Amino acid sequence: MSLLGWIVIGFFAGWLAGLVTGTKKHFGCLLNPVVGIIGAFIGGFIFTYLRNEKVTFAFDWWSFFVAFVGAVVLLMVVKFFAWLLAGRKG
């Protein structure tokens, strides 16, 4: 997949994951693709482990779903650590 395809899928996957996890207000046009692209790597590892076959990325719905799931996992982990650190301060 081309770099532009990664950015487009990453943007929408990061944006939708931000809506689902409630962190959308913290991100902008630059951080959404980053979250989505990192989520694509995380989702790729998760689905490779679960399905016991390598996940290949193309410009399709399956790649979007994998990136979305990975982005949600990423944002939930970040939210958990933010909550954990905020609880230890006060």
Greater confidence (57 vs 83) lies with 83
Phi, psi dihedrals of residue 2, rounded to the nearest 5°: -75, 165
Query: How many domains is the chain partitioned into structurally?
Result: 1
Reported confidence tier of residue 89, pLDDT bands at 50, 70, 90: low
User: Does residue 90 carry a pLDDT above 60?
Assistant: no
What is the pLDDT at residue 70?
A: 94
**Whole domain around residue 49: which residue ranges?**
3-89
User: Does residue 60 carry a pLDDT above 80?
Assistant: yes
What is the pLDDT at residue 77?
A: 93
% residues pLDDT > 70 (the chain): 90
| pTM metric for this prediction | 0.84
The alpha carbon of residue 32 and the mean position of all alpha carbons in its chain are separated, in whole angstroms, by 9
